[in-house]
């Protein structure tokens, strides 16, 4: 009985799709609510105010504003979104008049 497979057959050829993880929005950038900030495995970066966490630990903005990263303790990081209060107030004034 032969121990070699017939020609044309391959045992390789399987590969997983890339996960496209990492920081999508950097500090100081403006985001809209719902924008993905970081795609990660585990909570390498923890959520702060204005940031929500998805099922797969993805961080996303819950409010419009600027992203800010800050250190927490010795080796932790936190992402927050600081809302644009002035921009929102001007928009409200422009809508009325």
- The 10s digit of each residue's pLDDT in 66-81 is 999 999 999 999 999 9
Q: Percentage of the chain surpassing pLDDT 70?
A: 78
- What the block records as the tokens of 33 is 């609510």
Q: What is the pLDDT of residue 13?
A: 79
Residue of 49, 55, 54 lying closest to 72 (CA atoms):
49
Residue of 3, 45, 46, 39 lying closest to 24 (CA atoms):
39
Rounded to 5 degrees, φ, ψ at 83 are -65, 150
83 burial level (CB within 10 Å; 0-12, 13-18, 19+):
middle
Tell me, rounded to whole angstroms, the distance of Cα 94 from its chain centroid. 32
Q: What is the pLDDT of residue 24?
A: 96
């Amino acid at each position: 009985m032969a121990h070699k497979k017939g020609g044309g057959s391959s045992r390789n050829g399987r590969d997983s799709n890339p996960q496209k993880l990492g920081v999508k929005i950097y500090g100081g950038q403006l985001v809209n609510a719902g924008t993905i900030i970081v795609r990660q495995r585990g909570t390498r970066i923890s959520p702060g105010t204005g940031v929500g966490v998805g099922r797969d630990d993805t961080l996303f903005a819950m409010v419009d504003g600027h992203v800010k990263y800050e250190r927490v303790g010795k080796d932790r990081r936190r992402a927050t979104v600081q809302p644009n209060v002035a921009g929102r107030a001007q928009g409200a004034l422009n809508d009325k008049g």
